[in-house]
Amino acid sequence: MRRTSWVLTGSAGILVAASAVTRFTVYPALHQVPADAKSTFRYEGTATLLDATALQAGDPGKAFLKDVPVTLDRSIEVEDTHGRTALVSDDAVLHGPDNAELSTSTHLWALDRRDLTERAAPAGSGAEKREGLVISWPLEPEKRDYRFWDTGTRSVFPATYEGTQSVNGREAYVYAITSDGPLADPATLKALPPALPRAAVVGLASALPEAQRPPQETLDALPATVPLTYTTATKRQGWVDAETGLSLDGTLHQTVLARTQSAEGPVTLFPVSDVDVRGAQASVRHQTDEATTTARLLWLLGTGGPLGLLAVALLLIALALWLARRRVRLATRVEETDTGVTTAAL
């Protein structure tokens, strides 16, 4: 019986150690961006785009694709990890009617695997420099403002906390980001003309609704070759799972405008793109299901599992103490019985 008590006590000690390892080693190791993380989120909506083919063909009147249905697929994949640092590719593809590819963008980021803020990029990785969040939110989001990197302007802007809403039964924090400024993304700038003939600019302007056209006197004063600069403005909203930090839903409205310098200052000539999309229902459902599964796993590893192991350990200790007391009581009874027999013999 004494051996049983020692076995129970030793087992309880092992369970206590297992509880600590689960909570303070296994849980932190898993509560970070996985080394094999890969996901794609789809947005749906409409876009008005400058049709470069029509423009090059000398037909500016048909150079705008207006309010065409589009999908935007944003794919995130961990390419490599170095301790707390993850190298993450961030690719976006905009498709139009008949699944025609309208535009693409590709980025590589170095980020912290827990709070997703910027990390020093490993030498030779090619990761872009940036500040703040860029692909998603910390694994434990808070009801506060964050700093978010805008790829179009290559600048940081505030992501403002706006409250809490429910997304498919999941509690979500809502954040809003508004950014604007000169277009600075090298890949986008490379795809846009630095200048256009005056006739092309006038033709594009005439294809716009009257309220959006630049003043006629501005068009008349343009040089034969019009130098162009570009600005971009973006409005985003994100619905972020309160428990896991997973993005559940989102909206994106992004515009790019062509401008030039007039005698009175910068003037907007015509829009290059106007994309207005929101998370597709199938992607939102997938994200909420993923958040539910992830939350259960994290609870099991961070709370349920460790507490369960501790509870079993306490039961084993209680059983060992009960057996020890029972052994003492039995020994006392035997001693009293032996004493009574001896007295009677005398």
Note the pLDDT tens digit of each residue in 167-183: 999 999 999 999 999 99
Comparing 73 with 15, which gets the higher pLDDT? Answer: 73
Integer Cα distance of 37 and 246 in angstroms: 12
- Average pLDDT for 303-318: 60
- Average pLDDT for 327-345: 57
Give CA separation, 190 vs 193, 245, 265, 343, in Å. 8, 35, 24, 110
- Average pLDDT for 189-210: 86
pLDDT band at 23 (very low <50, low <70, confident <90, very high): low
- Average pLDDT for 294-313: 62
pLDDT the model gives residue 331: 60
Integer Cα distance of 152 and 182 in angstroms: 8
Comparing 84 with 312, which gets the higher pLDDT? Answer: 84
Which residue, 116, 43, 31, is CA-closest to 75? 43
Comparing 212 with 273, which gets the higher pLDDT? Answer: 273
Give CA separation, 344 vs 77, 333, 336, in Å. 88, 16, 12
pLDDT the model gives residue 308: 58
pLDDT the model gives residue 327: 65
pLDDT the model gives residue 346: 47
SS3 328: helix
Beta strands in 25-112 (DSSP E): 38-50, 64-82, 85-95, 101-112
Asked if 176 and 287 count as a contact pair (C-beta separation under 8 A), the reply is no
SS3 90: strand
Comparing 252 with 59, which gets the higher pLDDT? Answer: 252
Asked if 63 and 51 count as a contact pair (C-beta separation under 8 A), the reply is yes
Predicted model pTM: 0.80
Dihedral angle over CA of 34, 36, 37, 42, nearest 10: 180
Comparing 331 with 36, which gets the higher pLDDT? Answer: 36
106-153 tens-digit pLDDT = 999 999 998 999 998 888 888 999 999 999 999 889 999 999 999 999
Q: Is the dihedral of CA 57, 61, 64, 67 positive or negative?
A: negative
> Regarding beta strands 155-167 and 225-227, do their DSSP bridges make them parallel or antiparallel, or are they unpaired?
unpaired
- Average pLDDT for 64-70: 88
pLDDT the model gives residue 153: 96
pLDDT over 50 (residue 259): yes
Distance, CA of 332 to chain centre: 68
Q: Quote the mean pLDDT of the chain.
A: 83
Q: Which alpha helices (DSSP H) does 163-304 contain, by range?
A: 186-190, 198-206, 216-220, 281-299
Give CA separation, 287 vs 32, 98, 162, 281, 284, in Å. 17, 26, 21, 10, 5
Integer Cα distance of 1 and 21 in angstroms: 30
